[in-house]
Amino acid sequence: MTKTLVKRKADMKITTQELHNKIEQLETSNDLQHGHLSNRVDDLKEAVKDNREFFTNAIESLDKKVWALVLLTLSTLLATIATMMVG
């Protein structure tokens, strides 16, 4: 059991050059992944901006329709009251 542990430790020895190469590979990989994530974040920002504009326009349109219904209801009420007073 201890012989295998000693052998594993001997196999795990790594040179500084190998370590340097591994670090460079990781940095390159990180840079690539960061670039992809950065592009995705930019795409997401654009999508959120487009959605915000769409929903703002939809709410404004709905707001106009609601006010039109309120005014129509009030005018109908006033017309009914005026007819009752005249008649």
Write out the two tokens for 76.
């109908």
Rounded to whole angstroms, how far apart are CA atoms 86 and 42?
66
14 phi and psi, to 5 degrees? -130, 145
- The pTM score is 0.49
Q: Tell me the backbone φ, ψ of residue 58, rounded to 5 degrees.
A: -65, -40
What pLDDT score was predicted for residue 76?
97
Query: Minimal CA–CA distance to 25: which of 17, 13, 35, 36?
Result: 17
The two three-digit tokens of residue 77, written as one number: 């009420």
Q: Which residues of the chain have pLDDT under 50?
A: none
Q: Which two tokens stand for residue 39?
A: 């592009």
